[in-house]
Amino acid sequence: MAQQYHFDTNKITAGYHASENQLAVSPPIYQTTAYDFKSAKHAENLFAYEEAGYLYSRVGNPTVTYFAERVKALDGGKNVLAVGSGMAAITYTLLNLTNGKGTILASPYLYGGSIDSFDRLFPDLGIQIKLTKSILDPEALEAEITEDVKAIFVESISNPNAYLVDLDKISEVAHRHHIPVVVDNTVATPYLYQPFAHGADIVVYSATKGLTGHGNIIAGIIEDNGKTEYYTKQAYPQFYTPIHMLKGKSIAEQFPDNPFISRILLVYLNFLGAALSPHDAYLGILGIETLSERVAKQSANALKIAEYLEKSPAVEWVRYPGLKSYPFKELADKILIHGFGGLLSFGITGTKEQKAAFLDHLELFHYHVNLGDVRSLIVNSPDTTHSELTEKEKEIADIPANLIRISAGLEDADDLIQDLEQGFRAAGLI
């Protein structure tokens, strides 16, 4: 049904039927740990995944399903799973692709927590994450694809620099070598960019951010496009290993149309347990209902702020896809047809003490590490969200010490600019 309607209809209706829920207009919160079995045979079928249904809310809950299905409809995905955080979505995805061995080629232009996990978690599990600037040059990237590469991982709009990648060309290169492309679409949201339409195979979200947009939940989403031809027995044997609970069948046998998401559910969500609560899923559904309106206003505010910052003597440089000075402007105009997003960064002039004084004197901007909120947010990324990076990693990721990140909210843009102006003045920068 979702494919019959346009984006703004799907964000209100997709994935939920009142007729299946006592005619409740708003999806109910199924605040339950477990579900009664109809019979011994029913229980057996549920645990062997031979019958659809709910058995325990760690691995399935109706409210969580409604939330996930709505996101899937907006992105045009085939299979979807909601989890307890964006980091869980990334971690489960990469663990599922590697299963303790292999290499992921990754963009260096990523959220700091992602890169920190690449340094501190994955190597201990036998997995190598190679950060490569070749992500900006697909032809050069192809030369780095070796037999042990299991996937390519990028952000559609990078945090904090708002860099873009040519996903169509990256996907073309990856698919020539029969490996999937994973896209973190957190900053863009499905309103600005739909990675599956540009060749992505797997899409992940920190639904904590702009997707739900109110700074009141922690949540993650994993989707795929339903294609299975890359998951061969030789390259991805984990999908072909018999599992006792499936009565000796493998994931590929039991779920031939959905092996990737099904294995995350059975193995990682089941045993590592980063489940999304039904109450948080409900708040996520409410947040999605205003996605288009929020992101459109955030994009307009961010552009106006970026244009102001470019003219300020307190600013050394500005990075925002809507500016003519943006290094990927041609690509931005081509792929971001509904706006350029609410994320921008700029380089502040002056000393470390003046930077601190500027941040401390802001009145409207909230100083914390979230993004995509209805409130305008600001943070000094090199000292917070990306403080885990080594100096070398910051250099590769193009994150200088004077970088300030803004996530534009829904306030009046002139009021936000006035707040920045008085902050610069209080710091002695203008």
Per residue of the chain (430 residues), what is the pLDDT tens digit? 445 899 999 999 999 999 999 999 999 999 999 999 999 999 999 999 999 999 999 999 999 999 999 999 999 999 999 999 999 999 999 999 999 999 999 999 999 889 999 988 999 999 999 999 999 999 999 999 999 999 999 999 999 999 999 999 999 999 999 999 999 999 999 999 999 999 999 999 999 999 999 999 999 999 999 999 999 999 999 999 999 999 999 999 999 999 999 999 999 999 999 999 999 999 999 999 999 999 999 999 999 999 999 999 999 999 999 999 999 999 999 999 899 999 999 999 999 999 999 999 999 999 999 999 999 999 999 999 999 888 989 998 999 999 999 999 999 999 999 999 999 999 999 9
Please list, residue by residue across 189-215, b when 16 or more beta carbons sit within 10 angstroms of its beta carbon and e when fewer do.
bbbbbbbbebbbbbbbbbbbbbbbbbb
Token pair in block for residue 321 = 């896809």
Q: Are residues 38 and 125 both part of a single domain?
A: yes
Q: What is the domain extent for residue 391?
A: 292-426
Separation of alpha carbons 257 and 200, rounded Å:
17
235, 257, 287 - which closes a domain: 287
287, 320, 346 - which closes a domain: 287
Q: Are residues 125 and 139 both part of a single domain?
A: yes
Q: Are residues 126 and 263 both part of a single domain?
A: yes
Q: Are residues 176 and 225 both part of a single domain?
A: yes
User: Contact, 272 vs 284, CB < 8 A?
Assistant: no
265, 287, 309 - which closes a domain: 287
Q: Are residues 122 and 243 both part of a single domain?
A: yes
Q: Are residues 147 and 10 both part of a single domain?
A: yes
Number of domains in the chain: 2
CATH number of the domain encompassing residue 271: 3.40.640.10
Residue 131 dihedral angles phi and psi, to the nearest 5°: -80, 130
User: Contact, 116 vs 134, CB < 8 A?
Assistant: no
The pTM of the full predicted model, rounded to 2 decimals, is 0.96
Q: Are residues 306 and 252 both part of a single domain?
A: no
